[in-house]
Amino acid sequence: MVSGNMFYRRKPSWRADDLVSRSTLQLLDFDDGSPPEYAWRRKISSQANRLKEFNVTFREAIKMMRLGLRLWSYIREEASHGRKAPIDPFTRESDKPSASQGVPLGGMGSGSISRGFRGEFKHWQIIPGSCEMSPVMANQFSIFITRGGNKKYSSVLAPGQHDSLKKSSDDGISSWDWKLRGDRSTYHALFPRAWTVYDGEPDPELKVSCRQISPFIPHNYQDSSLPTSVFVYTIVNTGKERAKVSLVMTWANSIGGLSHHSGGHVNEPFIGENGVSGVLLHHKTANDNPPVTFAVAACENQNVNVTVLPAFGLSGESSITAREMWGTLIQDGCFDRDNFNAGPSMPSSLGDTVCAAVCASTWVEPHGRCTVVFSLAWSSPKVKFKKGNAYYRRYTKFYGTSPRSAINLVQDALMKYKHWEEEIDKWQSPILHDDRLPEWYKVTVFNELYFLVAGGTVWIDSASLVVDTEEMLNLKIPEDSDSPLHDSTHKSAVPLIGFTPHIIDDRENVGKFLYLEGIEYFMWCTYDVHFYASFALLELFPKIELSIQRDFATAVLREDKSRVRFLADGTWGNRKVIGAVAHDLGAHDPWHELNAYNIHDTSRWKDLNPKFVLQVYRDFAATGDMSFGKDVWPAVCTAMEYMEQFDHDGDGMIENDGFPDQTYDAWTVRGVSAYCGCLWLAALQAAAALARDLGHNDYAERCMVKFAKAKLVFEAKLWNGSYFNYDSGTSYNSRSIHADQLAGQWYTASSGLPPLFDEDRIKCTLQKIFDYNVMRVKGGRMGAVNGMHPNGKVDETCMQSREIWTGVTYSLAATMVLHGMENQAFTTAEGIFIAGWSEEGYGYWFQTPEAWTIDGHYRSLIYMRPLAIWAMQYALSPPRTILEAPRVNTMDRTSHISPSTLQFLQDSVRKMTPRNSCFGSSSSFSCEC
C-alpha cells in the first residue's frame, strides 16, 4: 500500500487568482460565494472549438467493410421499429460536439441536463437513450441593474456569439441584450458544484457570483437521486450608489431538440411554502414518452421580491413576446404580482415555443452584499423503455409520482442546499487539502464524476415495483389525484409483465441502477467497462455497486435462447448462454433482454467471467459484506466452471480463439494472452480466497492447484525478460507491449491478495510500459497508448492498438500506485489531464471520451471507463477492511493445498527452465530492459 512519502510532487497547475483578481475573490467571500482554491477554470469568453472526430484508416475500413454493411442493415431494422441501435457510427448529431461542456445538473438516475461553462443548458437526457446535444438558448440567466435615475445595465449572463442566435432583430431571444463579452467572467468547476464569477460585467461596479449546486452526496441514497439543482447568486455593490438588481431565469417548455414544437405544453404559476414561488412547465413529450414537468423557482425573503411571467413566446404571434418580456424588465425590473393568479396557460400550438420567466429583485446598498437563490427541478416520475416495460424513478420513493412533485423538489432544494454543501465539503476536503497530491489530480478526480449524472443514468424504485398500473388496469387517473396509486409508499399488487424475481430482490434497499457505456454506445452497465469504472461506485455508493453485482450474478444463471445475428462474422447464436457473464444488462428492455451488444458472440469472450469473479471478490473484501459473498457464490462457481472450455490443452491456462474476444473488440488475440491470461490467474486466486472465507476449502484448493499450473504456463509462454508479450501467437504484434497487460494484478493488489508474479517482474513490466507506451507518445503528455512495438513504434495493427484509452491509462496509473511507483503513476495519469482537460489540450472536459489517437482525434465522447481515476484514489486510500485484513504472502497461498499436491507442484516447478529476470539478485529497483 501507499506510505506517506510516496506522493507525486508537482508545481501547481495555476494559482487561485490567475483568472480572477484577489480583491474580487475577497469581496465575494461570504456565503460561499467565492470559488474554491482548487477548481477547473476557464474564461467564459474562451472559444468552444469543434472537436476532432476519430476516423478509421483506409486499411481498417476495407477490413471492416462486411461488418459495416451488416451494422448498417441492423441500424435500419431497429429504426423501423422506432428503436435506437446500441452502436451507430453512421448517424451524426446536427450540432457538432464542441469544447463547451460544464458541470451537469441534478442527482443520479432521474434524467440529466448539462450546463456548459459559458452558461448554455444543453445535452438533455430526460428520456433514456435519447440525448439532445444542442443548447436551448432561451434557457438563460439575465441581469437588470438600475443606479440612480439614469444608469441602467442589462444583459444575458452568457456570451452571445452562438450559432443559434439570429443575426437580424426579431421578437425572439436575439432581441435580448447579449452584451456580455466574457473576458472578465470566469467559470470554476469542482463537481458537483460550479461557480461563475462576473467581475464587473455588465456593471463595472458590481461583482456577481453564481454558484451551481446539485445533490450528489456520497453514501446518501435519497438526496443523490433528486432531479434538482440550486443557483445561488452572490452580489456585491462596490459603487457609491444604491443599486436595484433583478436576476431573471428564463426557461423554455422543452426537453431539447425540437420537442417544444410538438404542441400541447402548458405553463402555470405557483406560490409554495417558505417564500418559494415560480412557474410549472408541463411538457407533453412526443412518441408516447412519459411527460415531464419543470419547476423554475426563486426564494423570496425580506430583501428579495419574486415575480413571474408564466408564459411568453419567441414569435410575434405570441400574446407576449420575448422582446416585450425584456422591455418590461428594462423598464420595471420585475413583473406584475397579479401574474400569480393567471392559472394554467392555454396549451401551446404546434410549432410554437412557450417559455416562462422568474424574476428575483433586490436593492443592494453601496458596498453592500446580497444573496438571491433560484432552483430548477424536473419531475419525470416514469421511465419507459422502448420494448414496453415502465418503472418509477428512485426519487418517487420520497416524493411520489405526481408531476407536481416538482414544486416540493424545488422547495426542499432551496431549504436544504446549505446542508448539501456541508456534506460535499466533508467528502472533498481531505483530498483537496492533502498537499502531497498534485493540483490537477485533486480537480480531475472529482470532475470525472460528472459521468454518473450526465452519462445517461437510470435509478428506479424497485421497492414499490414502479409499474405502470393505470395502463395495465386501463384506468384514467389524473396525475394530481389523491388515489393511493399515486402514493409513493403504495406497493402495487399488480405484477409488472416480465418482471422477474431477481429485479424485485433489492437487498440493499437502494433500488436498481443503470448507467450507459457511453452516449454513443447505448448499452446499460456494460460489464467489461464497468470493471474499470466500478471503483467510483464502490468508493462513493457501495450499495449501488453491490446491487449491480447481484444483477450480473443472477444473469450468470440465466439463459435466453432467442437467436441473435453477430455482426462481425454474420453467424447466429443464442442471446444469453448459462454460465457466461452478460456483456451488458440490455438496451430497450434492461434486466430482461440482456446483451444488447451484438458485434461478437460475447459468450466466447475470455475476459467477462474473470472480471466478474474479480469484481465480486474486490467488493466482498472492501465491504466485508458476508451476505453478499454468500448470495453471489453460486454464480462465481458457475462462471469459473464455464471458463474450463477455453483451456484447450488442459494446462490450466485459458487460450484466446483468434478473434477479438475481450474488451478490445477490434484487436485479435491468439493463444495465451497477457490481458486475458493475467485476468484468469487473478480470478483463480480471488475465487480461492472467496471460497476460503465462505468455508469451501476443497474448492479453494482446486483453484490454487490450477493457479500454480496456469502461472507456470503463463510466464513460460509470455515473459520475455522485461514484460509479458501481447500473446503467444506468431504475428508481428504478438510481442507488442500492451498497456493493460497487468489488469489482473491491478485487481489482485486492490483486493489485498498476494501478487501474481514476483514483485521485480511486476515493476519491470510497469516501467517498460511507462518508458514506451507513455513517455514515447508526446513525451508522456497524452496518456498510455494501448500497443507499442519493442522498437518504440506505435502498434497500428488495428484502431484500438493505436489508441490511447483514457480509463485504461487511469487504471494503469492505479497499478503503479499500488506497487510504489507514484512518480510514474501521476505522470501517466497527468497525460489524460493535459490532453483532455487542460487549456492546451483538445477540449474533452466533462465529456471524456473512451479514446483518442496520438493526434487528438476522439472516439466515443462521454464514456464510462474514465471513472477509473477513482481506482487511483482507492489505491491511495484503501478501505479499512483491506488495510486491516490479515496479510497473505505468496508462500501462504499453498497452505490450503494438500501435501501430496504440493509436492507435485514443487516437482513441476523444478522441471521448468527459469526465465531471466531483469533485476538479477539486486534488491534495488533499476530496470535496464
Mean pLDDT of 788-806: 97
Contact residues for 383 (Cβ-Cβ < 8 A; gap 6+):
128, 290, 390, 391, 392, 393, 458, 460
Task: Flag the least confident range among 186-195, 242-251, 341-350, 725-734.
Answer: 341-350
Confidence of residue 490 (pLDDT cuts 50, 70, 90): very low
- What pLDDT is stored for residue 261 in this prediction? 75
**Residue with grid cell 392555454, as numbered in its chain:** 346
Query: What are the DSSP E strand ranges found in 69-126?
Result: 104-105, 112-115, 121-125
Residues of the chain with pLDDT > 70, as a percent, come to: 87
Contact residues for 597 (Cβ-Cβ < 8 A; gap 6+):
86, 87, 523, 526, 583, 584
Mean pLDDT of 441-450: 98
Mean pLDDT of 392-411: 95
Q: For the whole model, what pTM was predicted? A: 0.91
Does the structure show a pLDDT above 60 at 925? no
Contact residues for 152 (Cβ-Cβ < 8 A; gap 6+):
144, 145, 146, 330
**Residue with grid cell 437588470, as numbered in its chain:** 144
335-340 long-range contacts, CB within 8 A, separation 24+: 335/307, 335/308, 335/309, 335/359, 336/307, 337/307, 339/269, 339/307, 339/308, 339/309, 339/310, 340/269, 340/270, 340/271, 340/277, 340/308
- What pLDDT is stored for residue 1 in this prediction? 41
Mean pLDDT of 590-607: 97
| Of the candidates 912, 799, 910, the residue with the CA atom closest to the CA atom of residue 859 | 799
**Distances, alpha carbon 40 to alpha carbons 86, 101, 179, 188, in Å:** 33, 12, 25, 5
The secondary structure of 265-333, three-state, reads CEEEEEECCCCEEEEEEEECCCCCCCCEEEEEEEECCCCEEEEEEEEEECCCCCCCEHHHHHHHHHHHC
Give the Cβ contact number of residue 419 at 10 Å: 12
**DSSP per-residue codes, 890-903:** GGGGGTTS-HHHHH
- What pLDDT is stored for residue 95 in this prediction? 75
Confidence of residue 94 (pLDDT cuts 50, 70, 90): low
Between these two residues, 169 and 723, which has the higher pLDDT value?
A: 723
Secondary structure tally for the chain: helices H, strands E: 23, 31
| Of the candidates 544, 213, 589, the residue with the CA atom closest to the CA atom of residue 394 | 544
| Of the candidates 657, 660, 680, 679, the residue with the CA atom closest to the CA atom of residue 670 | 657
Does the structure show a pLDDT above 80 at 506? no
| Annotated domain spans of the chain | 22-50+96-428, 508-557+566-879
Q: How many CA atoms lie within 13 A of 372 on its CB side?
A: 28
pLDDT tens-digit readout, 889-922: 544 554 455 555 555 554 544 443 334 333 333 3
| Of the candidates 459, 399, 452, the residue with the CA atom closest to the CA atom of residue 114 | 452
Does the structure show a pLDDT above 60 at 132? yes
The H or E element that residue 375 is part of is strand 369-379
Give just the sign of the alpha carbon dihedral 694, 542, 557, 651.
Answer: negative
| Of the candidates 451, 297, 310, 357, the residue with the CA atom closest to the CA atom of residue 144 | 357
Peptide bond into 192 cis (omega under 30): yes
Does the structure show a pLDDT above 60 at 927? no
- What pLDDT is stored for residue 888 in this prediction? 56
Confidence of residue 163 (pLDDT cuts 50, 70, 90): low
What is the number of residues in the chain?
Answer: 929
Distance of CA 490 to the CA centre of its chain: 32
Give the integer Cα–Cα distance in Å for 427 and 378. Answer: 26
- What pLDDT is stored for residue 884 in this prediction? 82
Does the structure show a pLDDT above 90 at 532? yes
Does the structure show a pLDDT above 50 at 40? yes
Give the integer Cα–Cα distance in Å for 245 and 368. Answer: 12
Task: Flag the least confident range among 86-95, 101-110, 187-196, 475-484.
Answer: 475-484
**Distances, alpha carbon 533 to alpha carbons 373, 491, 850, in Å:** 35, 33, 12
Reading the block at residue 485, the C-alpha cell is: 396509486
Reading the block at residue 792, the C-alpha cell is: 518504440
**Residue with grid cell 428594462, as numbered in its chain:** 330
Pick the CATH number of 508-557+566-879 from 3.40.50.1820, 3.50.50.60, 1.10.340.30, 1.50.10.10: 1.50.10.10
Confidence of residue 295 (pLDDT cuts 50, 70, 90): very high
- What pLDDT is stored for residue 898 in this prediction? 55
pLDDT tens-digit readout, 306-328: 999 999 998 767 689 999 999 99
Mean pLDDT of 448-474: 71
pLDDT tens-digit readout, 661-687: 999 999 999 999 999 999 999 999 999
- What pLDDT is stored for residue 319 in this prediction? 82
Tell me the chain's radius of gyration from C-alpha atoms. Answer: 29
Does the structure show a pLDDT above 80 at 483? no
- What pLDDT is stored for residue 892 in this prediction? 54
Confidence of residue 775 (pLDDT cuts 50, 70, 90): very high
Give the integer Cα–Cα distance in Å for 512 and 841. Answer: 37
Mean pLDDT of 131-150: 91
Partners of 362 in beta bridges: 245, 304
Mean pLDDT of 520-543: 97
Mean pLDDT of 790-804: 96
Give the integer Cα–Cα distance in Å for 568 and 71. Answer: 9
**DSSP per-residue codes, 191-233:** TTEEEEEEESSSSTTEEEEEEEE----TT-TTGGG--EEEEEE
Angle (CA) 88-90-92 rounded to 5° is 95
pLDDT tens-digit readout, 686-713: 999 999 999 999 999 999 999 999 999 9
pLDDT tens-digit readout, 638-647: 999 999 999 9
Give the Cβ contact number of residue 341 at 10 Å: 9
- What pLDDT is stored for residue 166 in this prediction? 53
- What pLDDT is stored for residue 264 in this prediction? 86
- What pLDDT is stored for residue 517 in this prediction? 96
Mean pLDDT of 770-790: 97
Q: Compute the mean pLDDT over every residue in the chain, rounded to the nearest whole number.
A: 88
Reading the block at residue 414, the C-alpha cell is: 432551496
Give the Cβ contact number of residue 7 at 10 Å: 20
Reading the block at residue 801, the C-alpha cell is: 492498438
Peptide bond into 104 cis (omega under 30): no
Choose the most confident range, by mean pLDDT, from 104-118, 345-359, 454-468.
104-118
**Residue with grid cell 436593492, as numbered in its chain:** 363
pLDDT tens-digit readout, 825-863: 999 999 999 999 999 999 999 999 999 999 999 999 999
β-strand pairing of 457-460 with 390-392: unpaired
pLDDT tens-digit readout, 10-25: 444 445 457 888 888 8
- What pLDDT is stored for residue 2 in this prediction? 42
Cβ 633 vs Cβ 692: under 8 Å: no
- What pLDDT is stored for residue 474 in this prediction? 36
Distance of CA 246 to the CA centre of its chain: 36
- What pLDDT is stored for residue 776 in this prediction? 97
Confidence of residue 376 (pLDDT cuts 50, 70, 90): very high
Contact residues for 789 (Cβ-Cβ < 8 A; gap 6+):
733, 735, 736, 737, 795
Does the structure show a pLDDT above 70 at 574? yes
In 335-438, which ranges are continuous DSSP H helix? 396-399, 405-432
pLDDT tens-digit readout, 250-269: 999 998 877 777 788 999 99
- What pLDDT is stored for residue 161 in this prediction? 67
Mean pLDDT of 207-216: 97
**DSSP per-residue codes, 742-810:** THHHHHHHHTTPPPSS-HHHHHHHHHHHIIIIITTTGGGSS--BSEE-TTS-B--SSTTTTPEEHHHHH
